[in-house]
A and B are shown apart, each in its own frame.
Chain A
């Protein structure tokens, strides 16, 4: 594979939120980790990134194949996790990702799911918690190609800002070229559920602890069902404690 040229982050949309200087340090990137999941087989991968790096997992799911990818993106510098998946007929793909950043960290999750054939299902759940002057970016794309009828795709992107000085970028994208498809998506940057906070406080938890548990719950949504859920949740919680 020929090395790509360093993108100009001001001009190239997919690198729009990446810091040019940090990216130049990491360039040229390694080729994507390319995996083809054969028909009827199941693929599982956990990606934990806690250094300055750009990693890219590129999946192709044959008919009836399934895959579950879970991501924990934490660290003090620039780190980007990119997951692309192309789904064959009846394939099923799950992406559950969390990223946590404080200080001046910049973390990115880029997900692109292509429904290339009929009746595939996919869900993307990405949760971001940011403090300090950190920036967290999520680019999430669902592409439904012509003829991919019966597609059922979901995408949920949410971010929480612990400090007003942090920045969340979220860009959900739907490109649909087929009829008879279901694509649900939601995207929000906001506050913790007030009712949940009240519920926890009404049992005696002090407000900061209630908030921490709500954030734990917020992150857990993305990691639930992961093969090594316990380890990933512990990593996310450790990063969360560093932000609170």
Chain B
């Protein structure tokens, strides 16, 4: 589904990713762990196409297409979802308005028919329910006045509604209490644990991986994958620290 080959990327002229390679197949959940400054978030933003994250070498192929040639909105329409570590507040724009427009923009780009207001609300209600979020919250402006945990749950509701093929989730577990962590983790399983889909979880801690069980765990350090393994690698990291393992 996603093939990252020898990816080099820099931010403000500073090289961050230095030859990162990773292949993710449909049906797989991968976790990337690593110390601060290793390049984890840069990987997420580079895949999402954030301006200022400049690819200086290598390639990223998503379902046979050159992902790096696509603009951010085209990547979304192609089936990529980037869960933000710090979701942005958009005052004056309700979640419902924003998500309906976003979903229909994706559908238009894919040549699909747009959803009516009623049909959209049905989908939204269902997905919000998965994350134990009520519709009143979705009628409020995007992320405004939401707690850290609510923002992350709202991100997962967005993911549920947009129904991507591939999700990069950047520290979805940060700022969550134990209950919210379980709700988000179960949401990820329900929405993304499917044969035609895949997930790349970026995280510091084992605790999210207790709920969303990864098939593969990678250690990112110095802008490259320095070790890969199964779920046991995350436990080893938790026990012994990055320095000993990487």
Contact B73 A217 (CB under 8 A): no
Q: Write the nearest CB–CB distance from B235 to chain A, whole angstroms.
A: 32
A205 to B82, CA, bound (A): 14
Cβ proximity bits B46-72 to A, threshold 8 Å, 1 near / 0 not: 001111100000000000000000011
Cβ proximity bits B65-107 to A, threshold 8 Å, 1 near / 0 not: 0000001110111000110100110111100001101110110
A180 to B73, CA, bound (A): 50
User: Which residues from chain A contact B90 at a C-beta distance below 8 Å?
Assistant: 196, 199-200, 213-214, 217
Q: Does A2 interact with chain B (Cβ within 8 Å)?
A: no
Interface pairs (9), CB distance under 8 Å:
A198-B48, A201-B71, A202-B49, A202-B84, A205-B105, A213-B93, A213-B98, A214-B90, A217-B93
Q: Does B162 interact with chain A (Cβ within 8 Å)?
A: yes
Q: Does A221 interact with chain B (Cβ within 8 Å)?
A: yes
Contact B102 A194 (CB under 8 A): no
Partner of B72, one of A202, A217, A233: A202
Q: Does B147 interact with chain A (Cβ within 8 Å)?
A: no
Per DSSP, are chain A's interface residues mostly helix, strand or loop, or mixed? Answer: helix
Q: Does A5 interact with chain B (Cβ within 8 Å)?
A: no
A203 to B103, CA, bound (A): 8
Contact A209 B92 (CB under 8 A): no
User: Which residues from chain B contact A244 at a C-beta distance below 8 Å?
Assistant: none
Contact B101 A209 (CB under 8 A): yes
Q: Does A216 interact with chain B (Cβ within 8 Å)?
A: yes
A residues sitting closer than 8 Å to B (CB atoms) are 193-196, 198-207, 209-210, 213-214, 216-217, 219-221, 223-224, 233
Contact A224 B106 (CB under 8 A): no
User: Which residues from chain A contact B76 at a C-beta distance below 8 Å?
Assistant: 201-204
Q: Write the nearest CB–CB distance from B109 to chain A, whole angstroms.
A: 7
Contact A224 B91 (CB under 8 A): yes
Closest B residue to A223 by beta carbon equals: B92
Q: Does B158 interact with chain A (Cβ within 8 Å)?
A: yes
Closest B residue to A197 by beta carbon equals: B51
User: Which residues from chain A contact B35 at a C-beta distance below 8 Å?
Assistant: none
Cβ proximity bits B159-184 to A, threshold 8 Å, 1 near / 0 not: 00010000000000000000000000
Closest A residue to B86 by beta carbon equals: A195
Q: Write the nearest CB–CB distance from B169 to chain A, whole angstroms.
A: 13
User: Which residues from chain A contact B48 at a C-beta distance below 8 Å?
Assistant: 198, 202
Closest A residue to B109 by beta carbon equals: A204
Contact B73 A207 (CB under 8 A): yes
Contact A206 B141 (CB under 8 A): no
Contact B105 A204 (CB under 8 A): yes
Contact A205 B73 (CB under 8 A): yes
Contacts A214-B90, A216-B93: A204 and B73 contacting too (C-beta < 8 A)?
Answer: yes
User: Which residues from chain B contact A214 at a C-beta distance below 8 Å?
Assistant: 90
User: Apart from A203-B99, A204-B77, A220-B92, what are 11 other A-B pairs with CB-CB below 8 Å?
Assistant: A200-B90, A201-B72, A202-B50, A202-B73, A203-B158, A205-B101, A213-B90, A213-B93, A219-B92, A221-B91, A233-B92
A196 to B91, CA, bound (A): 11
Q: Write the nearest CB–CB distance from A88 to chain B, whole angstroms.
A: 31
A221 to B81, CA, bound (A): 28
Contacts A198-B50, A199-B84: A205 and B92 contacting too (C-beta < 8 A)?
Answer: no
User: Which residues from chain B contact A233 at a C-beta distance below 8 Å?
Assistant: 92
A201 to B90, CA, bound (A): 13
A217 to B48, CA, bound (A): 23
Q: Write the nearest CB–CB distance from B9 to chain A, whole angstroms.
A: 15
User: Which residues from chain B contact A216 at a C-beta distance below 8 Å?
Assistant: 92-93
Partner of A204, one of B49, B50, B106, B141: B106
